[in-house]
Structure 1
Amino acid sequence: MLGCSTIAAAQAVKGKVYDEKNQPLYGATIFLDGTSISTISGEDGFFQLPVLSKVNSNLVVSYIGYQTVTISAFTTDKDIEVKMVPSTNSLKEVVIKKNRFTRKEMLKLFREQFLGDTKAGRKAVILNEDALDFEYDEQYKVFKASSDQPLVIQNPVLGYEVTYEISDFIVEFKTLSIKSIDTYRILFTGVSRFKETASTADVVKERMKSYRGSVLHFFRSLVSNKLAENKFLLVKRKKAASVKDNFQIKDSEGLKEVKLINNPIQIVSKNNLEQPKFYSFYQVSFESSKTSGITFLTPTFNIDAYGIHSNVNQILFEGDMSNKRVGDLLPTNYGIEE
């Protein structure tokens, strides 16, 4: 744990949760997306959640029977008022359709792509798989998954129970197939909450293995200027690249503002109707054995005190970093001493 600890000053997000009749809602869960930081609202609907001053995570409010509320812009300076809206309890439409692939085959694909084909991914168990719905578009060779309730995942290897509410889950195939080996691209988004279930010596060891070389580890190392110390090697155009020659990093209101300075390529559309795009690609080696690629489609972004980066749709990963799925995810406050 000493290798990733950061001491940071925590403040608190405060607010109240109301139901559709403007009555205080007791027992709503409030959490910081992707972390183990959570609380519940009191009898008067009031909540107080400890967070660092500036974060890139969303604040999420959930309650059974109500639609989940996600708040992207919040501050510790002003109380938040959250009004919950009841969920529409409609029965699922039953459609009898002959599918090329069975539910068993689609469930196998989902587990592999969502949980990951690693030790932790294979050992993780989704407790409510029956909530999952699958769809396969044969014309476009696209597989989609959805769920009308948050998935509850037991991860015995890393010692967490993860609640994951899927927003999108899409797998594109190179050919008409349901096998992971034939996947071309995968995208899934959602909100997640972590609850610790074990902290044995073996679990702590596995967490550190999962953390080392991860996206979180990389960005924390980048802004603390410890890439080399933490066994990362940055490569650009087949040559070793230093942080100081490629990134300008400065403090900005509790965040680390990062600017690419090593001549990112600007792509301008032929008709000049689209906004200019920036492109810069780096290879990242970790411990000389694990290789990843990072494509930046933005010349600037920021990193918060947890190590979470902004512009998530403009920073793309491939290789070892992209192979880590939900089974290998750690809460983003992992290693942060509050």
Structure 2
Amino acid sequence: MKKYFLLFCFFFANITLAQAIKGRVFDETNKPLFGATIFLDGTSISTISNEEGFFQLPVIARINTNLVVSYVGYQSVSIASYNDTTELKITLQPSINSLKEVVIKKERFTRKEMLKLFREQFLGETKAGKKAIILNENDLDFEYDENYKVFKASSDKPLIIQNPVFGYEVTYEISDFIVQFHSLSIKSEDVHKILFTGVSRFKETSNSKEVVKERMKSYRGSVLHFFRSLVSDKMVENDFMLVKSKKIAAVKDNFKLKDNLGLIEVKLNDMPMKVVSKNALVDEKFYAHYQISFQKSRTSAVTFLTQVFNVDQFGIHSNVADILFAGDMSDKRVGDLLPTNYGIEGTKVLDE
């Protein structure tokens, strides 16, 4: 089976938060919207607007994620710039219910085959991924471009996903879902690369002992666990090992950590590489590569294309497009994801 990689792309805000984000939500006629959902992308932190459209979302610190506002029948809004001192005014626009063009043609692959691929690549094939259920699969639309061997999926409505293994209901709004194949195929073993982006909200449905155990199992060794361990300098205690050029790399010898008003600024000690192009122009580009071992059995790799980034108290890192993971950490799908505020109590970060 050929190896493939997963890339999640999100645009993160860099904001200062102390107590609560406040604002008001209106429709296109400036009428307050009651019951709009306001949440931090990728978390279980959410609230709804009252009769006057007012909302107040409690937060704990500086956070690297967008604020999302949604309402049935309206286009969701994603906000990257906000703070706890300025009250937001958010105006939602009605959704455009355009009739989709119906093209009658003989498809090489059936909807059943395409739905199978989507489940495997979107939810994953782990225990959690296989048991997760998309409640509104009929809202999904598929397209396969045979010329470019590319499969695309979309949905006008947020996908509602029940994840019984982790005890969450996940609302996921797809922005892009693209799968490229090595050959003209619809099978997961022929996938070359995959990219999907979107916003998600988690709602807890169970916290049984078994669920709590499964959550911890998924968290251990994850990207979130890695960054929380990195900025707390507990890589060894948390069973991580960094390797660079076949040598064990200590955090203090490779990274400088600095508290920046609630965010941890991470600066790599490596110097930028000098790349000479064909026209003899010299361009300094930063590049650093590390192997990551978790519990001496699960292996990943991380490539830094930036020398400086920051990590918030959830463990969410900035510069997402410049920090690339491969191996075990890159294979996570939606069925394996936890809310990024998992394990956070007050301002304490779960780092073990």
Q: State the TM bucket, normalised to the shorter chain.
A: over 0.9
Quickly say closer, same or farther: Cα 1:270–1:82, change in 2 above 3 A.
Answer: farther
AA at the equivalent of 1:138: E
Greater shift in the superposed pair: 176-185 or 114-123: 176-185
Where do 1:1-338 residues align within 5 Å? 11-267=19-275, 269-271=277-279, 276-338=284-346
Quickly say closer, same or farther: Cα 1:98–1:275, change in 2 above 3 A.
Answer: farther
Aligned-partner SS, 1:57: coil
Per-residue deviation, residues 266-298 of structure 1 (Å, max 9, x unmatched): 445445889743221111000001001111111
Distance 2:247 2:110 in 1: 48
Quickly say closer, same or farther: Cα 1:47–1:141, change in 2 above 3 A.
Answer: same
Aligned-partner SS, 1:65: coil
Aligned-partner SS, 1:75: coil
AA at the equivalent of 1:328: D
Say if 1:284 and 1:293, in contact at 8 Å, map to a contact too: yes
Aligned-partner SS, 1:216: helix
Say if 2:292 and 2:300, in contact at 8 Å, map to a contact too: yes
Aligned-partner SS, 2:303: strand
Aligned-partner SS, 2:59: strand
TM-aligned CA deviation for residue 53 of structure 1: 2.9
Per-residue deviation, residues 87-136 of structure 1 (Å, max 9, x unmatched): 11122222212121111111111111110110000000000011111111
Distance 2:276 2:170 in 1: 42
Distance 2:280 2:202 in 1: 45
Say if 1:248 and 1:258, in contact at 8 Å, map to a contact too: yes
Say if 1:56 and 1:309, in contact at 8 Å, map to a contact too: yes
Runs of 4+ in structure 1 displaced over 6 angstroms?
Answer: 272-275
Distance 1:298 1:278 in 2: 6
Distance 2:273 2:292 in 1: 19
Greater shift in the superposed pair: 267-276 or 139-148: 267-276
TM-aligned CA deviation for residue 207 of structure 1: 0.2
Greater shift in the superposed pair: 188-197 or 129-138: 129-138
Aligned-partner SS, 1:288: coil
The residue number in structure 1 matching 2:3 is none
AA at the equivalent of 2:129: G
AA at the equivalent of 2:149: K
Q: Which runs of 5+ in 2 are unaligned?
A: 1-16, 347-352
Identical residues among aligned pairs (%): 71
The residue number in structure 1 matching 2:349 is none
Say if 1:30 and 1:62, in contact at 8 Å, map to a contact too: yes
Q: TM-score, normalised by structure 1?
A: 0.94
AA at the equivalent of 2:41: D
The residue number in structure 1 matching 2:12 is none
Quickly say closer, same or farther: Cα 1:221–1:272, change in 2 above 3 A.
Answer: farther
Quickly say closer, same or farther: Cα 1:13–1:293, change in 2 above 3 A.
Answer: same
TM-aligned CA deviation for residue 253 of structure 1: 2.1
AA at the equivalent of 1:315: I
Distance 1:93 1:10 in 2: 48
AA at the equivalent of 2:334: V
Per-residue deviation, residues 157-182 of structure 1 (Å, max 9, x unmatched): 00000000000111111121111111
The RMSD of aligned alpha carbons is: 1.6
AA at the equivalent of 1:200: S
Distance 1:320 1:287 in 2: 12
Q: TM-score, normalised by structure 2?
A: 0.91
